[in-house]
Structure 1
Amino acid sequence: MREIVLDTETTGFKPEEGHRLVEIGCIELVNHVATGERFHVYLNPERDMPAEAFAVHGLSSDFLADKPLFNDVAAEFVAFIGDAPLVIHNAAFDMTFLNWELKIAGYPTMPKERAIDTLLMARQKFPGSPASLDALCKRFGVDNAGRTLHGALLDAQLLAEVYLELRGGRQAGLALASGPVNKGGVASVRIDRPFREARIFALSAEETAAHGELLKKLKSPLWLAE
């Protein structure tokens, strides 16, 4: 099963107010294991960078000035994600921006059902507890020491580890043995044990005599009933 863990950075909160994508980071998972394949790009938003957004991700207008437009990388992005489910933290935010940019570039938009929202997963699994990416990294012991600022690729890498923990831990789907697979899709496990002869526990003459003496001391023992 192929999934894409995805994160974005933007100039603000709402594309309808003129805000744009400035970074996309994607990590490929196959059967919940990172393959090493990734998609990462910085984008020129063709506008200024608000101070509030710069404080979050540190991407300045000068840095982004020579970066490609979304239109320039749209085909590569669409080819990379294919039709795989998208694992996103707070999926509504990222999907809104991605669909806005895809529509402008002349590509079909993506249904919201395509996204697996790890924020909702965390809130369902730990109701009432903090569910930010940093909070989940702390809960699961995922090292996020390098996350001084938000970054789409780094956040996607951290989210991939958090997602695996939310699904049940690092051994989810782990094959315990190689070999034939049964109808349920589970690998059969064969354990070879050395052959042992059956043991015979026979009473000695002394043990038999002692048992007889004990029975004589009992009143109407069942062992002597005819």
Structure 2
Amino acid sequence: MREIVFDTETTGLSFAGGDRMVEIGCVELVNRVETGRTFHAYYHPERNMPAEAQAVHGISEAFLADKPVFADAVDDLIDFLGDAPLIAHNAGFDFSFLNGELKRCGRPVVNAKTRMIDTLQIARSRHPGAKHTLDALCNRFGIDRSHRIVHGALLDAQLLSQVYVELMGGRQIGLGLDSSDPAGQVTTSVVSAPRAARPTRVFAPTEGELVAHRAFIDKLTDPIWGAAASG
């Protein structure tokens, strides 16, 4: 099963209010194992970058000056996403910007009802009452986030992919690669290697042990098995 974990960075909190997506990072999973395929892009927002947003992700107007607008670069993103389920943390936010950008340039939107997986909702159901930020979940599962100085779409998607796997039960041992996929993609499956039957081991006492045992038994007085036999 192919899934895409993704994250976005934006100019603010509301696409409907005029904010835009400036970065997206995507990580491909097959059977909940990272394949190594990723997608990462920056987009010119066609507006200014508020200081409070830049403080979160570190992306400046100057950095975005030569980046393409979303409509001019959307085909590569659509091709990467395909029809896979899309996983995000607080996914409603990321979907609102992704679909807002798609709709703005006349492209079909992603059906959130059938394709959206929200790790925030999963975390709340698995661990009620705990903290559910990405940082908190990384700490819970022992995922190294020391290189996360500011928010970054691809880095956050890579961290979230590990969190998602842990939320869904953790990594399985015995992962094997199956290169026989007719589409030419490497797929993964959980396999159990059969164990070879061990030969029967015989633990026979030596003659010296038998002699020592008989000598020990002869020293016993009124053994319980004698009482049972006489009863």
Q: TM-score range by the shorter chain?
A: 0.7 to 0.9
| CA distance in structure 1 between the partners assigned to 2:32 and 2:58 by the alignment | 31
Call closer, same or farther: CA 1:21–1:187 in 2, change over 3 Å.
same
Query: Alignment length, in residue pairs?
Result: 213
- The SS at the match of 2:146 is coil
Counterparts of 1:165-180 in structure 2, within 5 Å, are 165-169=166-170, 171-172=171-172, 174-175=173-174
**TM-score (norm. length: structure 1):** 0.82
Offset from partner CA, 1:59-96 (integer Å, 9 cap, x none)? 11111111011112211111101111111000000001
- TM-superposed deviation, 1:42: 0.4
C-alpha contact (below 8 Å) 2:86/2:116 kept by paired residues: yes
- The SS at the match of 1:147 is coil
C-alpha contact (below 8 Å) 1:140/1:162 kept by paired residues: yes
Residue in 1 that maps onto 2:132: 131
**TM-score (norm. length: structure 2):** 0.81
Q: Which runs of 5+ in 2 are unaligned?
A: 178-189
| CA distance in structure 2 between the partners assigned to 1:65 and 1:115 by the alignment | 32
Counterparts of 1:40-189 in structure 2, within 5 Å, are 40-113=40-113, 114-169=115-170, 171-172=171-172, 174-175=173-174, 187=192, 189=194
Residue in 1 that maps onto 2:183: none
Residue in 2 that maps onto 1:181: none
Amino acid at match of 2:74: A
Amino acid at match of 1:22: V
| CA distance in structure 1 between the partners assigned to 2:169 and 2:193 by the alignment | 22
Identity %: 52
Amino acid at match of 2:195: R
Q: Which runs of 5+ in 1 are unaligned?
A: 179-184
- The SS at the match of 1:16 is coil
Q: After the TM superposition, which parts of structure 1 deviate over 4 Å for at least 4 consecutive aligned residues?
A: 197-201
